[in-house]
Structure 1
Amino acid sequence: MAIATTPHLNFRGDARAALEFYHSVFGGQLVAVSYADAHAVTEPAEASQLLWGQVESPDGFRVMAYDVPSHTEYAPGVIPLFVSIRSSDAAEIERYWSALAASSTVLVPLAPAAWAPLYGMATDPFGVTWVFDVAVPWAG
């Protein structure tokens, strides 16, 4: 198995527009999962915003994005992205997670999530926030 490192951009209400723009530039497939799609709405006005989205082109371009919910602090430029580590192999994700989380601040422990068999988030000693997950095809 191989892991993929992908920029994961954070927005406040503009993730869908940003991904549509990147899709117009790079082509490929655009997937957009709203908070409503994932049954994860915490603020009704944000239901159509993106919990997760991605543009992936056959040429190798890949970027993810989401809309930071209003209950979470957001200052553009302060945490403008996550580094996303994805694999279809849970053991591989667990191995990398264990190594990184050991000296990082765990924000979301690695565990099953509504959208992935495993998902976790940690900020490393240098202030970089990493998200790890086991990739599954989106059937939406």
Structure 2
Amino acid sequence: MATINPYLNLPGTTEEAFNFYKSVFGGEFLAVIRFKDSPGGSENVAEADKDKLMHIALPIGKNILMATDSIGEMGMGYKQGNNYHVSINTDSKEEAETIFAALSAGGQVMVPLAMAEWGDLFGWFTDKFGISWMVSYSPNRPQ
């Protein structure tokens, strides 16, 4: 069964925000990936943005709060109203394909569902109601 987690876009304040959230909720970060450390990140990101966070994840109970610094080079550009996504993590490739196709129908696909450079099946779209969704399947995640 798919899990749903919030995914935040922040205007360069992700690290500060997540250190604050960690102080409130406790726990340890599951992932901290800077743009400079991502595959292809060094070539595609401005020098001033290389130390910003491409991805961070903090477990809160059975959920995971995730985020990125919205930088212009990645096409997101922070503005109020686009600062979140609903992230769906599926248990199978087939489930990811089914959910992506159904939810994106009538919407706008920004990133078609495909294998991403970090090893997950990933896609991103806005549904016909204006809600931003990310669908992922991690084939190497322990089940």
TM range (shorter): 0.7 to 0.9
Structure that is richer in helix per residue: 2
Give the drift of 1:18.
1.1
CA deviation after TM superposition for structure 1 residue 73, in Å: 5.3
Matched residue count? 135
TM-score by length of 1: 0.87
* Structure 2 segments unaligned to the other structure (5+ residues): none
Deviations 1:85-110 (A, max 9, x none): 11242111111011112221101100
Cα distance in 1, alignment partners of residues 110 and 6 from structure 2: 18
Gaps of 5+ in 1: none
CA distance in 2, matches of 1:15, 1:48: 11
Which residue does 1:119 correspond to in 2? Answer: 122
Percent sequence identity over aligned pairs: 30
Residue 14 of structure 1 is matched in structure 2 by 13
Question: What does 1:101-116 correspond to in 2, within 5 Å?
Answer: 101-116=104-119
Runs of at least 4 residues of structure 1 off by over 6 A?
none
Length-normalised TM-score, structure 2? 0.85
C-alpha separation in 2, matches of 1:51 and 1:88: 24
Q: Which amino acid aligns with 1:119?
A: F
SS at match of 1:100: helix
1:22-61 alignment runs, 5 A limit? 22-30=21-29, 31-39=31-39, 40-41=41-42, 42-57=45-60, 59-61=61-63
